[in-house]
C-alpha cells in the first residue's frame, strides 16, 4: 500500500511553513532510480534539488517521521548487563532513525515488531552449533541461548512480514540458518588464510569485497567493490534455498546475500557500522534501512 501523501509544519529561523510531500524518499525518485540511493545522496548533499522541500527541510521532515529502528543487543555480560557497541546506534541516528535496543530474553516478539518500523540483527558471538549445524569447535565463543532464541524468532517473523531488515555479520548467519542454511564453524579451516577475516584474538580487519553489479546490494551501496571492516570467523556453509550470494571476498567467502522476492532485507557479512562515520559507502546500509522504515511508517 502506498502513502497518499500528507504535510508537516516545520519551523525555521522563527517562521513556520507547511510542506506537502509524499513518502519522503519517494519524493526524490527520478527516472526509476532506487529511492534509498537517492535518499542517501540527498542526506550527503550530493544530489541536485528537484523541487519540493529543501535538503534541510527534508531532513527535518524525516526527523518528525522518526522511524523506530530496533537493534538486538548482546547477551548479559559478567556484570549482568546488556550492551551493544555505540557505533550501531550512532549510524542509525546519522540516518535520522530513532534507535531502541531489544535485549535477549524478550519473548513478546510480535509486540516488539508491532512497535518498530525496521530491525537490525547485529553482530556478536556465535550461534549455538546445534542450531547452525557447524558442529563443536574450539573457536566457538559467546554462545547465548537467550539471544539465539530471540533473534531466530525475530528473523522468522520479520521475514514473514517483509519488514525492513538489516542483518550484519552474525545477523546474516541467523537469516541463512532460519531459511534452511548452515554455517562453517571456522573460516580458516575451509578457506585457509589467504584473506584475514578477523585479527587475533578477536579484532576487526579490512579486506576487499566484490559485489555482483546487478544486485540490489550493489545498487544500495553504489559500488561493486568496497573494503569494509571484517570481524568474523564463521561464514555461510550451505546456502538457504531462498537466498543468493551477491558478494564475496577474494577467497570466495560469501559476504552478502539477498532473499528471493524480498527487497526489504539487506544481509552483510562485514561490519558497516565500524567505519560508517567516515566511509559514506558503509553508512548507506543504515540510510537504506531508515528510508525503508520511513516508507513503512508513512504507509501504515
Domains of the chain: 21-63 (no CATH), 64-299 (3.40.50.880)
Taking the C-alpha atoms of residue 241 and residue 264, their distance in angstroms, rounded to an integer, is: 18
Question: Quick one: pLDDT at residue 58?
Answer: 59
Question: Quick one: pLDDT at residue 41?
Answer: 53
Task: Please state the rounded mean pLDDT for residues 219-234.
Answer: 96
Task: Output DSSP code: residue 60.
Answer: H
| Annotated catalytic residue within 60, 151, 255, 273 | 273
The question of whether 263 is a catalytic residue gets the answer: no
The question of whether 169 is a catalytic residue gets the answer: yes
Average pLDDT, the chain: 84
Of 42-51, 114-123, 149-158, which gets the smallest average pLDDT?
42-51
| Annotated catalytic residue within 258, 265, 271, 291 | 271
- Is pLDDT of 144 > 60? yes
- Is pLDDT of 65 > 60? yes
| Annotated catalytic residue within 169, 207, 232, 258 | 169
- Is pLDDT of 64 > 70? no
**Closest residue by Cα to residue 168 from 294, 93, 74:** 74
**Closest residue by Cα to residue 126 from 116, 114, 139, 115:** 139
What the block records as the C-alpha cell of 56 is 534541510
Amino acid at each position: 500500500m502506498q502513502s497518499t501523501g500528507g504535510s508537516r509544519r516545520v519551523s525555521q529561523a522563527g517562521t513556520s511553513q507547511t510542506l506537502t510531500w509524499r513518502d519522503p524518499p519517494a519524493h526524490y525518485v527520478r527516472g526509476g532510480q532506487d529511492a534509498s540511493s537517492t535518499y542517501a545522496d540527498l542526506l550527503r548533499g550530493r544530489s541536485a534539488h528537484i523541487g519540493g522541500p529543501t535538503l534541510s527541510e527534508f531532513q527535518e521532515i524525516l526527523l518528525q517521521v522518526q522511524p523506530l529502528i530496533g537493534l538486538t543487543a548482546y547477551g548479559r555480560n559478567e556484570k549482568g548487563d546488556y550492551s551493544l557497541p555505540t557505533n550501531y546506534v550512532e549510524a542509525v541516528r546519522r540516518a535520522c532513525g530513532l534507535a531502541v535496543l531489544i535485549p535477549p530474553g524478550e519473548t513478546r516478539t510480535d509486540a516488539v515488531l508491532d512497535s518498530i518500523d525496521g530491525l537490525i540483527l547485529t553482530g556478536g558471538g556465535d550461534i549455538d552449533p546445534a542450531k547452525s549445524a557447524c558442529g563443536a569447535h574450539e573457536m566457538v565463543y559467546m554462545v547465548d541461548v537467550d539471544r539465539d532464541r530471540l533473534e531466530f524468532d525475530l528473523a522468522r517473523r520479520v521475514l514473514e512480514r517483509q519488514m525492513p531488515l538489516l542483518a550484519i555479520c552474525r545477523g546474516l548467519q541467523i537469516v541463512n540458518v532460519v531459511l534452511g542454511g548452515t554455517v562453517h564453524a571456522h573460516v580458516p579451516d575451509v578457506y585457509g588464510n589467504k584473506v584475514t577475516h578477523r585479527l587475533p584474538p578477536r579484532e576487526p580487519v579490512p579486506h576487499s569485497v566484490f559485489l555482483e553489479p546487478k544486485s540490489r546490494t550493489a545498487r544500495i551501496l553504489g559500488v561493486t567493490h568496497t573494503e569494509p571492516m571484517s570481524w568474523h570467523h564463521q561464514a555461510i556453509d550451505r546456502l538457504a534455498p531462498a537466498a543468493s550470494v551477491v558478494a564475496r571476498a577474494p577467497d570466495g567467502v560469501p559476504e552478502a546475500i539477498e532473499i528471493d522476492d524480498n527487497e526489504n532485507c539487506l544481509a552483510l557479512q562485514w561490519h558497516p557500522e565500524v567505519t560508517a562515520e567516515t566511509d559514506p559507502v558503509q553508512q548507506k546500509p543504515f540510510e537504506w534501512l531508515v528510508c525503508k522504515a520511513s516508507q513503512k511508517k508513512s504507509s501504515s
